[in-house]
A and B are shown apart, each in its own frame.
Chain A
Amino acid sequence: MKEMPVIDEEKCQGCGLCVDICTCGALVLRDNRVRMQAADKCGWCTLCELVCPYGAISCPFEIVVEDEKP
């Protein structure tokens, strides 16, 4: 299963900015909280993280060295 941006439900205020900016259509506002509705669509553009004024959504990166990949 694809890894998804991490949503901190305690921090999320349901402002919907991340939903508005998501060009992939992966996020949706439900019950005044952001939910991931289509994990496969998320392209990890990190725009949702960029616009969130509450720091409620994060898109962390794993850093790997190509030569050392299994």
Chain B
Amino acid sequence: MAIETELLRTMAYFTGLDEAALEGVRHLFREHSFPKGTQFLSEGDRSDSLYFIVSGLVKVFKTSADGKEQIFRIIRPGESFNDVPVLSGGINLVSAEAMGPVVLNGIKKKDLEAIIRERPQVALNVIQVLSRRVQELVALVEDFSFRHVTSRVAKMLLEYADHKAGEGPRLTQQEMAAMIGTAREMVGRSLKNLEGAGTIRMERNRIIIADQQALKELAGII
């Protein structure tokens, strides 16, 4: 099933394209659906499609030899992933797993390259997307190098707070730990510290940010 042009318009790769241009590329996409827990991309495998999320959430991660997981990003509807291997022609740098039921739209490398050659606006969009990826990775290195665990937890809570009901990811403490490069126990301890300081409240399965400004200061966000 071809993608809707309305949806295409919201994707960073295709912003600035007119209706006719969007109509011209939408038939190049193919829809894929996966149930929760499906790992549909594996690190080290070769894949030739770029994916956009229509609905649901996807985590992209690497796994160490001893099974430790590092989550790089949680991808939300409208966002793309698998950009770097597709554009560089290499293998998957990370694995991808559906955090719930997920619907994706995929476009083949050869089709994407044809669009880029034909439309300079898309090439500029791709540069912007890749620049954001570099910014995200620099931020991750910065977090690991210079922030203590509580500060990383504070930053992660702010980043993944649910601003629109139901759209944010629901995260286990293990997943939080895998995102910020620490042990689950350290996340639990940090959440208790933040609760003790009054910046968050834990209400059963909800973490409520009670003092957003204090949390931003802890996270080093001005």
Does A50 have its Cβ within 8 Å of any Cβ on chain B? yes
A60-B172, A62-B162, A66-B210 given; A8·B37 CB < 8 A: yes
A49-B172, A49-B174 given; A62·B206 CB < 8 A: yes
Contact between A66 and B171 (Cβ–Cβ < 8 Å)? no
Cβ-defined partner of B205 (8 Å) among A44, A55, A65: A44
Alpha-carbon distance A69/B173, docked complex (angstroms): 22
Cβ-defined partner of B208 (8 Å) among A46, A50, A59, A66: A66
A44-B204, A65-B163 given; A59·B172 CB < 8 A: yes
Instruction: Using CB atoms, name the residue of chain A closest to B210.
Output: A66
Contact between A62 and B172 (Cβ–Cβ < 8 Å)? no
| Chain B residues, CB < 8 A from A31 | none
Contact between B212 and A62 (Cβ–Cβ < 8 Å)? no
Which of chain B's residues 185-222 have a Cβ closer than 8 Å to chain A?
Answer: 188, 201, 204-210, 212
Chain B binding site: helix, strand, loop or mixed by DSSP?
mixed
Q: How far is the CB of B61 from chain A (nearest CB, A)?
A: 14
Contact between A60 and B208 (Cβ–Cβ < 8 Å)? no
Q: How far is the CB of A4 from chain B (nearest CB, A)?
A: 9
Contact between B207 and A64 (Cβ–Cβ < 8 Å)? yes
Does B184 have its Cβ within 8 Å of any Cβ on chain A? yes
Alpha-carbon distance A55/B63, docked complex (angstroms): 15
Alpha-carbon distance A37/B165, docked complex (angstroms): 29
| Chain A residues, CB < 8 A from B206 | 61-64
Alpha-carbon distance A34/B204, docked complex (angstroms): 21
Does B181 have its Cβ within 8 Å of any Cβ on chain A? no
Contact between B184 and A65 (Cβ–Cβ < 8 Å)? no
Which positions in A face B, CB cutoff 8 Å? Answer: 2-3, 8, 43-44, 46, 49-50, 55, 58-70
Taking A46-B173, A66-B212 as known contacts, 4 extra A-B pairs with beta carbons closer than 8 A to each other, sorted by chain A number, are A59-B205, A60-B172, A62-B162, A65-B162
Listed by A's residue number, 30 A-B pairs whose Cβ atoms lie within 8 Å are: A44-B205, A46-B172, A46-B188, A59-B172, A59-B173, A59-B205, A60-B175, A61-B172, A61-B205, A62-B170, A62-B205, A62-B206, A62-B207, A63-B157, A63-B161, A63-B168, A63-B171, A63-B209, A64-B207, A64-B208, A64-B209, A65-B162, A65-B208, A65-B209, A65-B212, A66-B208, A66-B210, A66-B212, A68-B163, A70-B165
